[in-house]
Amino acid sequence: MSLPESAPEAIVPSQIAPPAHPSIHDGRNGALAALAAYLLWGFLPLLFRQVEAAGSVMIVAERTLWSLLLLGIILMFRGGFGPVLALFSDRRRAWGTLLSAVLLAANWLLYVWAVQTGQVLEASFGYFINPMVNVAMGMVLLGERQNRLQTVAIGLAIVAIIIQAIGLGSVPFIALGLALSFGFYGYFRKTAQLGPASGLFAETAMLTPLALAFVIYTFATSGPGIHADPYYMSLMVLTGPATAIPLLLFAFAVRRLRLTTIGMFQYLAPSIQFLVAIFLFGEHLNGLRLVSFALIWLSLMVFTYDSFKRRKRGVTAPAV
């Protein structure tokens, strides 16, 4: 998961230059922040499963509204509304942000729906293949040329996807949908050139009219529903911090760690989701699907080894 579901969600590591010579103090704090961010992302399905009675569309609508509120408060204290206002005055950047907002909403909706329908294993597979999707996008959209190890990694990922499809008995639409939506999200997100908090604020602001309209419509046609229960409502409110806090921790970490170090952390969240799906949600893992996961892990090992080798030689990997 090059960027996690919620890092997964509003910042592209290649936009941020880590310090050339980070101090031990910075490195330790960055590693702790990255660990915390990916742990929170990994256990996020537990929160969504608790509020599944609300339905995936309502959860995404509430997540949008509460994220906007929290990020607005953060920006208010940090004086960060200037870049957001500048964005809305630039038509090209605004359209790019709107595209990234739509892709982000699609990613959120598909992920929440996967959790609610007991398909967290396939969702975790989607985030495992995301780094390979980013590399493939660089080849197709940006004309980037890959070295031998990167080609091997992509080939293994393709085989893993085919085996996953055989194991499922159908095309893994959830995994591919999550990986592609997040890959294209990162691609369009780069055009806005905003920080993580201000960028996510701009995206959620664009989604807010639809989210608010859906909540009001549901109230008008079906009554308060889950909102009348203080326990469930508190969990709904929690979706805002659950979105924004890992993002800010990730932004803190990526400024203090090398990107290759961040790359090692990025596999933690889908690994946790994999274990949560099997041991807490009781999802079935047949032999073919296990083989597909083994191949994607091998693909990621090859990809990570290549990244370290390139870093050691002082070769910058192509940004996607």
For residue 42, the model assigns a pLDDT of: 95
Distance CA 85, CA 46 (A): 36
Q: Provide CB contacts within 8 A for 220, sequence distance 6+.
A: none
Q: How much is the pTM?
A: 0.85
| 67 C-beta neighbours (distance < 10 Å), count | 28
For residue 318, the model assigns a pLDDT of: 40
| 101 C-beta neighbours (distance < 10 Å), count | 26
Half-sphere exposure of residue 47: CA atoms within 13 angstroms, side-chain side: 20
Q: 53 is written with which tokens?
A: 């009675």
For residue 24, the model assigns a pLDDT of: 62
| pLDDT tens readout for residues 52-92 | 999 999 999 999 999 999 999 999 988 778 989 998 999 88
For residue 314, the model assigns a pLDDT of: 61
Distance CA 320, CA 268 (A): 21
Distance CA 38, CA 318 (A): 24
Q: 302 is written with which tokens?
A: 């090859």
Distance CA 66, CA 204 (A): 9
Residues 270/132, Cβ–Cβ less than 8 Å: no
Distance CA 70, CA 76 (A): 10
Residue from 233, 230, 307 nearest 267 by CA: 307
Buried b or exposed e, range 220-246, using 16+ CB within 10 angstroms: eeeeeebbeeeebbebbebbbebbbeb
Residues 45/120, Cβ–Cβ less than 8 Å: yes
Residue from 243, 140, 246, 128 nearest 187 by CA: 140
Residues 112/57, Cβ–Cβ less than 8 Å: no
Q: Provide CB contacts within 8 A for 277, sequence distance 6+.
A: 45, 120, 121, 123, 124, 283
Residues 199/99, Cβ–Cβ less than 8 Å: no
Q: Which residue numbers in the chain have pLDDT < 50?
A: 1-20, 315-320
For residue 298, the model assigns a pLDDT of: 93
For residue 261, the model assigns a pLDDT of: 72
For residue 4, the model assigns a pLDDT of: 39
Q: 23 is written with which tokens?
A: 């101090």
For residue 256, the model assigns a pLDDT of: 80
Q: What are the sequence ranges of the domains in the chain?
A: 13-312
Distance CA 204, CA 191 (A): 17
Q: Which residue has the tokens 């308060």?
A: 224
DSSP states along 194-252: --HHHHHHHHHHHHHHHHHHHHHHHHHHH-SGGGG-HHHHHHHHHHHHHHHHHHHHHHH
